[in-house]
Amino acid sequence: MGPKVGVLALQGASQLHVDALAELGAHVVDVRTPEHLAGIEGLVLPGGESTTISRLLELSGLFDPIAERLAAGMPVLGTCAGMILLASELLDGRPDQRSFGAVDLAVRRNAFGRQVDSFETDLAVAGLSGGDFHAVFIRAPYVERAGAGVEVLATVDGHPVLCRQGAATVAAFHPELSGDLRLHDAFLREVH
Ligand code: GLN
């Protein structure tokens, strides 16, 4: 049996992450309550609506226990809204919206592809073998600032879209929509 990992399942696009991780042999738990964090060695924060997910994190009592686990170094993969939830600074968020601050990024919500909302492109990802990664962007966050401790792994027009700091990896796009498991595989290797 592979590692036990959680996918936050309060709102948004969690199921395809669950499917991808299960296909790679992980034991995957839908995380909806603090009890679901028991024994988890890594966590995925999916895309969705970060304002709603932030509110549900508070209501479910999950915000503080997840913050503690992240501070203790638990590997985490945040995609799109998940990137927003892991950033240290939010621009165009709701005033009461909270984030975990696991990655030293300032991100602006819904700022990528303002005219087109969504777009797809092939990314060269640092350290990823097997060629470009097809990336799907949906009302994606725009990184306005990346701190000195942040490693930028992929860019679009010179702009960061995949970043890592410590055990936290964040993508402005939706890797679960490409049928390409390499980023989920990289996440599971962080867990081990
Ligand atoms: N626009 C969304 C937000 O601000 C993120 C979009 C997504 O996750 N696809 O939360």
- The tens digit of pLDDT for each residue in 12-34 reads 999 999 999 999 999 999 999 99
Cβ 49 under 6 angstroms from ligand 1: yes
Cβ neighbours of residue 181 under 8 Å, at least 6 residues apart?
A: 20, 23, 24
Percent with pLDDT over 70 in the chain: 98
Q: Ligand 1 in contact with 47 (CB < 6 A)? A: yes
The one catalytic residue in 80, 163, 184, 190 is 80
For the CA of 138, the nearest atom of ligand 1: 9
Structure tokens at 118: 């969504």
Inter-CA distances, 33 with 43, 55, 58, Å: 13, 14, 11
Amino acid occupying residue 186: A
CA 46 to ligand 1: nearest atom: 8
Active site residue 80: yes
**Element housing 23 (H / E):** helix 15-23
What predicted TM-score, i.e. pTM, was given to this entire model? Answer: 0.96
- pLDDT for position 114: 58
Q: Which CATH architecture has domain 4-191?
A: 3-Layer(aba) Sandwich (3.40)
Per residue in 70-104, pLDDT (tens digit) is: 999 999 999 999 999 999 999 998 999 999 999 99
Structure tokens at 165: 């700091």
Domain ranges of the chain: 4-191
